[in-house]
Structure 1
Amino acid sequence: MAKRSEQEFYSALEAARKPMGSGKHPFSLTWSEGGLSRAQLGAWAMQHYYYISAIPQQFAALYARMPDAAGRLLLMENLVGEEMPETPEKSHPNLLLKFAEACGLDRQAVIDAEMNGEVLGGTRAMRAWIWELATIRPMHEACAGIMVALEGQLPTLYPGYITAMERMGFSEDELEFFHVHVENDVEHARIGLELCYKYADTEAAQNMAIEAVRGSASLRYSMLSQVHEALSLSKAA
């Protein structure tokens, strides 16, 4: 099989994400149907904070490895959007802490979750996988596994969450973490696709990029399964 055309490659990347997409997980469906309490949402936020709190450093590591100026320029928007240097209280980790507080959690308790033995194995695996992608894996796999597989899910996943939480009485300010991902991650996923095609310059490289998408989607699905089980919503999905 020859190297796929740009559009064929994009379609294959997006198709690889769908079978284990987080939107199909029972936890996500329960959330979108309004079936989670504030306490349960807070438990999710604690796990998710551990997973995403290192994202700014991970993007910085990926940026430092990117071999050409054009690629770095494309990635810079993601990095600045995560860190928000002019308004650090708007960094994505800090927005998630604000949501956790709205769920009734103490901010420092969320930050100290690992120290307190509250981080689940699936959450640790997810964060470790992003570090592997950002620092070790070839550039086409890194961009596919982070930007296409993970950021690419959020613009369709989070609107259902937002609607359910608005019905629960959460304010727009408390839900800012979710709103910014809906607004920004369509563009981030597009940049990811562009970078994947740029760096996956052989059929084999394209195949590995597709596999990185499958790996990331599967790990995030497993992470949700552990949260689901920990909250006694069901046995692991």
Structure 2
Amino acid sequence: MLERTAFKSELKHLLQTHLTLSHPIFLELFDPRRPNLELLRKVALQGYQLTKHFLSYVEHLYFHCPLPRFKRALLINVYEEETGRLSRTGNHVALMQNFIAALGVSDAAREAAQPLPATRELIEYRLAAVRDPGRYHVGAAAVMIASEGQNLETRAGEPRHELLAKAYGLSPFDLQFFSVHQQEDVGHVEQGLSLVAELCTTRAMQDEARDAVDHTCRLFHAMYENMHVEFCRPAARAMTV
């Protein structure tokens, strides 16, 4: 079993080895010479499926948290997700809805969208983990480290909101969902690393937390791969016919 500080470092390194912004779908999305608005709409609607469930994940982590000092931090996270008052923005689901509206997607089309199989698998894996108090360390690792860690990625030093602004001419208001999370999730990931490191008091628990970070990151990659197959490859085949 690793000492707590060493375990935190290992979990952070594991997160950093799974960089989803390197997936080919982002090469197509973030090319300012060839913006693909229709693809961005489809990807955003899949992202919305995740956003709709995120508050539920954090609420469960707050409710079941066995450590008071982390419970308070999770309550602050819930408050910000629900109200946006700490960032002086808005409810985080509403921020994502604003982004989707800026892409020209109607409210009806947004709410009619359904998750692809890999998107649904990612949603359900995290829901199952956070709902089980006996696997609390797994849920915390999956949500607070692997999931919130996705928002910290950059490409050549540029975060998602800057890449989207450059490629699609979107305003800072349109992109608040991404800019807010890029800032806030630095602290959330650090809290997650500390919480999971303190919770894992046996080698088996550490192994389970490692697996949760690794598996969740792989589910994110699978989600983007599912989108790439569904949304990009049919168009590529049509061009060759």
The TM-score, its normalising length taken from structure 1, stands at 0.88
2 CA distance for matches of 1:85 and 1:177?
10
Out of 8-17 and 93-102, give the one that drifted further.
8-17
| Cα pair distance change 1:234/1:147, threshold 3 Å | farther
Output the amino acid matched with 2:73.
L
Q: Deviations over 1:148-191 (max 9, x none)?
A: 11111312248443233222210010011110011100000001
Give ranges in structure 1 of 5+ residues lacking alignment: none
Is residue 161 from structure 1 mapped to residue 160 from structure 2 by the alignment? yes
Equivalences for residues 20-99 of structure 1 within 5 A? 20-34=18-32, 35-84=34-83, 90-99=90-99
| Structure 1 partner of 2:131 | 135
RMSD, aligned CA: 2.3
Out of 77-86 and 143-152, give the one that drifted further.
77-86
| Structure 1 partner of 2:239 | none
Give yes or no for contact 1:10–1:193 (8 Å, CA) kept in 2.
Answer: yes
1:33 alignment partner, SS class: coil
1 CA distance for matches of 2:22 and 2:152?
14
Give yes or no for contact 2:4–2:198 (8 Å, CA) kept in 1.
Answer: no
Out of 196-205 and 151-160, give the one that drifted further.
151-160
Aligned counterpart in structure 1 of residue 145 of structure 2, from 132, 144, 148: 148
2 CA distance for matches of 1:85 and 1:21?
27
| Structure 2 partner of 1:10 | 8
Give yes or no for contact 1:16–1:211 (8 Å, CA) kept in 2.
Answer: no
Give yes or no for contact 1:38–1:104 (8 Å, CA) kept in 2.
Answer: no
Output the amino acid matched with 2:41.
G
| Structure 2 partner of 1:181 | 181
| Structure 1 partner of 2:205 | 205
1:132 alignment partner, SS class: helix
Cα shift at 1:7: 2.6
Q: Deviations over 1:184-203 (max 9, x none)?
A: 00000001011001111112
Output the amino acid matched with 2:205.
A
Out of 53-62 and 219-228, give the one that drifted further.
53-62
| Cα pair distance change 1:234/1:140, threshold 3 Å | farther
Equivalences for residues 94-109 of structure 1 within 5 A? 94-109=94-109
Give ranges in structure 2 of 5+ residues lacking alignment: 236-241
Report the identity percentage.
24
Question: How many pairs were matched up?
Answer: 229
Cα shift at 1:95: 0.8
1:174 alignment partner, SS class: coil
2 CA distance for matches of 1:157 and 1:14?
16
Q: Deviations over 1:83-127 (max 9, x none)?
A: 11769981221111111111111123212223xxxx211111111
| Structure 2 partner of 1:120 | 116
Give yes or no for contact 1:22–1:157 (8 Å, CA) kept in 2.
Answer: no
1 CA distance for matches of 2:213 and 2:149?
10
Output the amino acid matched with 1:11.
S
Give yes or no for contact 1:144–1:209 (8 Å, CA) kept in 2.
Answer: yes
2 CA distance for matches of 1:24 and 1:170?
22
Cα shift at 1:216: 0.4
Output the amino acid matched with 1:131.
L
Output the amino acid matched with 2:131.
T
Q: Deviations over 1:8-34 (max 9, x none)?
A: 112211222244321221123333333
Output the amino acid matched with 1:28.
F
Give yes or no for contact 2:152–2:159 (8 Å, CA) kept in 1.
Answer: no
| Cα pair distance change 1:179/1:85, threshold 3 Å | closer
Output the amino acid matched with 1:153.
Q
2 CA distance for matches of 1:129 and 1:36?
33
